[in-house]
Amino acid sequence: MENKKPIVLLEEASVGHANEPVLSDIHLSIYPGEFIYMIGETGSGKSTLLKTLYADLPLLAGKGYVAGFDLHTIKRHKIPYLRRQLGIIFQDFQLLPDRNVYDNLLFVLKATGWKEKKHINERIQNVLSSVGMEGKAKKMPHQLSGGEQQRVSVARALLNDPKLIIADEPTGNLDPDTGEDIIRLIRYLTQSDRSVLMATHDYNIILKFPAPTLRCKNGKLTNVLKPNL
Ligand SMILES: Nc1ncnc2c1ncn2[C@@H]1O[C@H](COP(=O)(O)OP(=O)(O)OP(=O)(O)O)[C@@H](O)[C@H]1O
């Protein structure tokens, strides 16, 4: 694994808001194919770190590279190119409520430069079938269960075949069984060289699907050596 390049590399990094660090001296490398959890109490900095990785917040200090982009020097107009390499999944799904599943996915493809109708159709069918939602393209978000909406948002995250999935509490709004289904799905879809960084409060998920785990605490990011949660 060491001879592959990391998809995420942070060295002596600080993340935070309005120049106030929330986490500092962060050292983190994520290699292709790695699945990593991030835990920590409310307000400990999980979302702040994830947002910094997709350039929604500036890196305050240190070095930071994601998918080959330097988080310090990335120009605003290049941020969409970084995001094209990432799939982002949120706790509250964040589907556009005024359009159906197909149009939600179409919106992302158009925004990321897809033009050919045939390719667009194929891609949408392909990601929907990979999350078991092939029959639901015409449904509006409010016609779907929470688990189904999260499946659509996983499909949306896969549209551009991302190298890294960033998931911020993807099971937070789901009942335990549905949450497990979503984790199984994400793990299944990321078996190859795709990496995942997932913030979660759901320790049962970690116990059921063990993987290396990081903890945000007291302004630092540390490895949880043995998930003694
Ligand atoms: N937009 C913002 N402006 C200023 N401070 C913020 C902003 N968003 C979050 N913070 C602060 O940054 C700190 C870390 O918040 P963050 O949302 O990263 O925590 P978290 O670990 O993701 O929490 P949770 O588990 O509740 O989602 C908190 O003290 C929070 O108040």
Among 2-6, 10-14, 34-38, 104-108, the range scoring the smallest mean pLDDT is 2-6
Helix (H) or strand (E) holding 154: helix 146-158
- Residue 166: CA count within 13 A, CB half-sphere: 22
- Please state at what angle helix 176-189 crosses helix 146-158, rounded to 10 degrees: 20
Q: Is the pLDDT of residue 228 over 70?
A: no
**Strand spans (E) along the chain:** 8-17, 20-30, 35-40, 61-66, 69-70, 86-90, 164-168, 195-199, 213-217, 220-224
Q: What's the pLDDT band for 205 if we cut at 50, 70, 90? A: very high
Q: What's the pLDDT band for 190 if we cut at 50, 70, 90? A: confident
* DSSP code, position 33: T
Extract the tokens encoding 226: 């043995």
- Among residues 178, 174, 198, 176, the alpha carbon closest in space to that of 187 is found at 198
In the chain, the amino acid numbered 6 is P
Determine the pLDDT at residue 16: 97
Among 10-24, 129-143, 187-201, the range scoring the smallest mean pLDDT is 187-201
In the chain, the amino acid numbered 213 is T
Determine the pLDDT at residue 211: 94
End-to-end alpha carbon distance in the chain? 27
Tens digit of pLDDT for each residue in 98-111?
Answer: 999 999 999 999 98
Which atom from ligand 1 is nearest to the alpha carbon of 40? 21
Name the residue with tokens 């194929």.
122
Please state the separation of Cα 189 from the chain's center in Å: 13
45 close to ligand 1 (CB < 6 Angstrom): yes
Ligand 1, atom 17: closest residue by C-alpha: 47
Extract the tokens encoding 96: 């556009």
Contact between 195 and 165 (Cβ < 8 Å):
yes
Determine the pLDDT at residue 11: 97
52 close to ligand 1 (CB < 6 Angstrom): no
Tens digit of pLDDT for each residue in 53-76?
Answer: 999 999 999 999 999 999 999 999
User: How many angstroms is it from 46 CA to the middle of ligand 1?
Assistant: 8
State the ipTM, two decimals: 0.96
Full-model pTM:
0.92
What is the three-class DSSP state of 14? strand
What is the three-class DSSP state of 37? strand
Q: Is the pLDDT of residue 192 over 80?
A: no
Q: What is the DSSP string of 81-104?
A: HHHHTEEEEETT----TTS-HHHH
User: How many angstroms is it from 16 CA to the middle of ligand 1?
Assistant: 8
List, in order of start, the domains of the chain with CATH numbers. 8-224 (3.40.50.300)
- Among residues 114, 184, 175, 177, the alpha carbon closest in space to that of 154 is found at 184
Q: What's the pLDDT band for 13 if we cut at 50, 70, 90? A: very high
